[in-house]
Amino acid sequence: MINALTRTGPLWGVFWMLTTGLLFVMVTVLVKILGTRIPAAEGAFLRYVMGLVFFLPMMGPLWRRAREMDRFTLGLFGLRGITHTAGVALWFYGMARIPLADVTAINYLSPIYVTLGAALFLGESLALRRVLAIIAALIGALVILRPGFREVGPGHIAMLGTGLSFGISYLVAKKVSETCGAGIVVAMLSVTVTIGLAPLAIAAWVTPTPWELLILFGVACVATGGHYTMTLAFRAAPLAVTQPVTFLQLVWAVSIGAIFFHEPVDLWVVVGGMIIVASISFISWREAMLKRKATTPAVSATKF
């Protein structure tokens, strides 16, 4: 098994990205099962508290490293914690109220937000191919939402806000990763988001049942596993290979939503999701062809 974790190549990259997609779809399924009895902020808070279990061995080094940081870096971590807190709370709210396929398709917009933000705030170039890909992705979003032709409810608005919040969060992560290791960046995110969600959770606290706690612990475990397998996918193969595989998340979300939650299959959501994934895949492919480091994270990287 250890041997498999260190292997590289296109097939291994595809395998790990397939696994990542399944795990992240399972996260959405578990939150869907959880329902709306537990307020969104509380559900997100409990998920992060339970997720901190995986970072306990890092707490000592993390505290020492935090004490050595300058105020600017600490401020960036604080900003990321605030924006990611908003994104997670909005995600839990939207996930429980709209179909799985809609959630998955709208989530594909996050890398587009990151691309725009990197050009506006980090000075990265925005070539014509990127502009065209962004326009195509926005058209895909309009195909999914179809304002005026279908009801765009609070859940859809929440998911759009989720993508924007996560986009800001990952732009800040890109900045702090220049001076801090990946382990510190991930651990600081978990700590700051847990702190940020605490007052929101307490304000509307509903005592969870043992079954609800078990579901939320499952969310923490599956989400952590998804981030790990996603890292393995990135290590095994370039984004140009692994990025198109993320579209299968939408296929699985549509199938699971129809079979287990009796959600109608909306062809326009599938088409819109395909347009967005195609635009992101094109950006990744062009960056690989030009032998430049891809600056737009994969869709899965924006999951909480």
Domains of the chain, by residue range, sit at: 2-302
pLDDT tens, 272-286? 888 888 887 777 676
pLDDT tens, 47-60? 888 888 777 777 77
Give pLDDT, residue 20: 84
Structure tokens given for 98: 């709209």
Give pLDDT, residue 304: 58
Give pLDDT, residue 86: 92
Structure tokens given for 296: 């737009």
Per the DSSP assignment, residues forming a β-bridge with 150 are: 147
pTM: 0.75
pLDDT tens, 56-73? 777 777 777 777 778 888
The ranges of the chain with pLDDT < 70 are 1-8, 122-126, 148-149, 181-183, 234, 238-244, 284, 286-304
The amino acid that residue 275 corresponds to is: I
Q: Give the residue among 43, 64, 93, 49 at the shortest CA–CA distance from 201.
A: 43
Write down the residue that tokens 């935090």 correspond to. 66
* b/e per residue 81-111 (b: at least 16 CB within 10 A): bbbbbbbbbbbbbbbbbbbbbbbbbbbbbbb
How far is 225 from 247, CA to CA, in rounded Å?
19
How far is 96 from 157, CA to CA, in rounded Å?
13
pLDDT tens, 121-144? 766 666 777 778 778 888 888 888
